[in-house]
Amino acid sequence: MSTKKLFKLDGKVAIITGSSKGIGLAIARGLAEHGANIVLSSRNQEVLDVQVNQLKKDGLNAVAHSCHVGDENQRKDLIKKTIESFGKIDILVNNAAINPVYDSLENMSSEVYEKMMNVNLKAAFDLSNLCFPYLKAEKNGSIINISSVEGLKPSLGLGIYSITKAALIMLTQVQAKEWGKHGIRSNAICPGFIKTKFSSALWKNEALLAQVKNQLPAGRVAEPIEMSGLAVYLASSAGSYTTGGIFTADGGHMLI
């Protein structure tokens, strides 16, 4: 088999949470461009429908199933609808995350803590377990957890977010260790400074942006599409011997 063919995802079915925009949408498009049938998911069905229509216009195969990943019943419904649409699941990308408060730990309420743990960590745990029987049945499943460099090296004001992303990294490694015997691979991508709506408060800060350009080896903020190639690798046969990996795509952030 040629290396080029290793990246083909023809016939594969992928769920991508938080995929109405940003990194999630970029990864979804990347998987679809390599042949996967994709399930876009976020809280807003109308926004999802717009994105699916655009993907279809581009000749890609996609459906949209809304899901608030913080809601247990909606998580179950997402898996049910995916099976109804495609009959199987090969790839799960746990991308959805929140960071509603930028503040120090002592100012964080228990409500904010619980909400962030539920969306950023518990949802990934539960969705992975819900997908497990289908990934196991295919004997070639791939879970991609979107963590963050904040889970490896915390920044001021992002404490709870960092905690959830660090825990997601460990969840990835436990999944890889326990589920490898079932042909399931699990890997984590840790993006750095990416130009998304989620991080707009950071990249719209001129002082911080200047600091990034001066200190970051790459000297710039990345675009969401720059995360898609790594996801395609991890989802495809090209990454068939890769599991339990923690991959930074951060422009050199971990070096400074």
Minimum mean pLDDT range among 9-13, 92-96, 101-105 = 101-105
**Mean pLDDT, all residues of the chain:** 95
Q: Give the pLDDT of residue 9.
A: 98
- Tens-digit pLDDT profile for residues 231-245: 999 999 999 999 999
- Tens-digit pLDDT profile for residues 146-158: 999 999 999 999 9
Instruction: Give the model's confidence band at 197: pLDDT under 50 very low, under 70 low, under 90 confident, else very high.
Output: confident
- Tens-digit pLDDT profile for residues 201-220: 666 777 777 887 889 999 99
Quickly tell me which residue has 């707009």 as its tokens: 200
Pick the closest to residue 183 from 138, 123, 228 (CA basis).
138
Task: Write the single-letter amino acid at 237.
Answer: S
Quickly tell me which residue has 């001021």 as its tokens: 156
pTM score above 0.95: yes
The question of whether 113 is a catalytic residue gets the answer no
For the domain spanning 3-255, the CATH number is 3.40.50.720
Instruction: Give the model's confidence band at 94: pLDDT under 50 very low, under 70 low, under 90 confident, else very high.
Output: very high
Residues 6 or more apart whose Cβ sits within 8 Å of residue 80: none
> Is pLDDT of 160 > 70?
yes
3-class SS shares of the chain: helix, strand, coil, % to 5: 55, 15, 30
Q: Give the pLDDT of residue 132.
A: 98
> Is pLDDT of 93 > 70?
yes
> Is pLDDT of 57 > 80?
yes
Strand order in the sheet with 141-146: 62-64, 37-41, 13-17, 91-94, 141-146, 184-191, 246-249
Q: Give the pLDDT of residue 202.
A: 65
Bridge partners of residue 184, in order along the sequence: 141
Q: Give the pLDDT of residue 205.
A: 75
Instruction: Give the model's confidence band at 34: pLDDT under 50 very low, under 70 low, under 90 confident, else very high.
Output: very high
Rounded CA gap, 113 and 132, in Å?
27
Q: Give the pLDDT of residue 248.
A: 98
Residues 6 or more apart whose Cβ sits within 8 Å of residue 86: 13, 37, 39, 63
Q: From the candidates 102, 113, 134, 161, give the one annotated as an active-site residue.
A: 161
**Residue 32: exposed, middle, or buried by beta-carbon count in 10 A (0-12, 13-18, 19+)?**
buried
